[in-house]
Amino acid sequence: MMRRFNDWLGDKLAYWLSTMGCFYLISIAILATLFFQRPEGVQAWLMFWVTVFFQGVALPVLGYVSRKAGEKQEQILNETHDAVMDELALVKEELAIAKEELELLKKLLEELHKRSPDKR
């Protein structure tokens, strides 16, 4: 039960944290902190921007991009599956036709053997 809940919660968090809306919300929240406390010195500014970029910007964007790539991959797989299933249906039809033709050829061969005199 707990595992199912964890899977459900993980799926929901992964989806919502990888949206562009989350990206904008985090970006605004991070930039809003500058109104209350500004970093002092070059090192503090550098640390602030690295933290902003990697934690606040890059991670939601990476999640968004990977989700979009996954959707594209799923679309390609579905298209490939549909194409293969269409080809399989055609092969089955051709196999049925070939079996009918084989039966017809067998009957013709039997008739030819019955009509032709035995040359032994």
Domain spans, the chain: 2-115
Q: What is the band of 82 on the pLDDT scale with cuts at 50, 70, 90?
A: very high
Question: pLDDT by residue (tens digit) across 20-76?
Answer: 888 788 888 888 888 888 888 999 888 888 887 777 777 777 777 787 888 889 999
Average pLDDT, the chain: 86
Q: Quote the tokens at residue 56.
A: 């606040």
Calpha distance 22→19 (Å, rounded): 5
In this predicted structure, what is the pLDDT of residue 32? 86
C-alpha to C-alpha distance for 58 and 52, rounded to whole angstroms: 8
Residue 41, phi-psi category: left (phi > 0), alpha (psi -120 to 50), beta (remainder) = left
Closest listed residue to residue 27, CA positions, set 59, 52, 63: 52
Determine if residue 32 is left, alpha or beta; phi over 0 gives left, psi from -120 to 50 gives alpha, anything else beta: alpha
CA 17 vs CA 23, 45, 48, 74, 87: distances in Å: 8, 26, 21, 21, 40
pLDDT-derived band at 119 (thresholds 50, 70, 90) equals low
Residues 6-23 as b or e (16 or more Cβ within 10 Å = b): eeeeeeeeeeeebeeebb
The predicted pLDDT at position 86 comes to: 96
